[in-house]
Amino acid sequence: QSALTQPASVSGSPGQSITISCTGTSSDVGSYNLVSWYQQHPGKAPKLMIYEGSKRPSGVSNRFSGSKSGNTASLTISGLQAEDEADYYCCSYAGSSTLFGGGTKLTVL
């Protein structure tokens, strides 16, 4: 039950695009199309941004998109806005368990 690997931090200027990677193994990310991404602001509960790898829940901006290649999933945020500054976590089904990434702090410069 090892955590998925995410970069500790990423940054970008308003209007730019950034991508956060999430690397797992053939036993989790690579085996199932069940990867989700969450946004978390300080002191708040996580918010679902992407599910099943690339689907957006109702109400989530289309500036957020997800993809997967092999054992790595990615979250791309285009047209960065100040309100996007937050922690982002990936999550994958792994058979009889669920794994989270260590989290990535996004700073909007």
Partner 1 sequence: EVQLVESGGGLIQPGGSLRLSCAASGFTVSSNYMTWVRQAPGKGLEWVSVIYSGGSTYYADSVKGRFTISRDNSKNTLYLQMNSLRAEDTAVYYCARGIIPDSYWGQGTLVTVSS
**CB closer to partner 1 out of 63 and 87:** 87
Nearest approach in angstroms of CB 47 to partner 1 is 8
Please write down the long-range contacts of 102-105, taking CB distance under 8 Å and 24 or more positions apart.
Answer: 102/3, 102/4, 102/5, 102/6, 102/8, 103/6, 103/8, 103/40, 104/6, 104/7, 104/8, 104/9, 104/10, 104/20, 105/8, 105/9, 105/10
Nearest approach in angstroms of CB 54 to partner 1 is 14
Segment contacting partner 1 by CB under 8 A, of 22-30, 44-52, 61-69, 75-83: 44-52
Q: Does 62 bind partner 1 (CB under 8 A)?
A: no
Decide: 64 and 75 in contact? Cβ < 8 Å: yes
Q: Does 47 bind partner 1 (CB under 8 A)?
A: yes
**CB closer to partner 1 out of 16 and 44:** 44
- Which of 15, 57, 70, 79 is in the footprint of partner 1 by CB under 8 A? 57
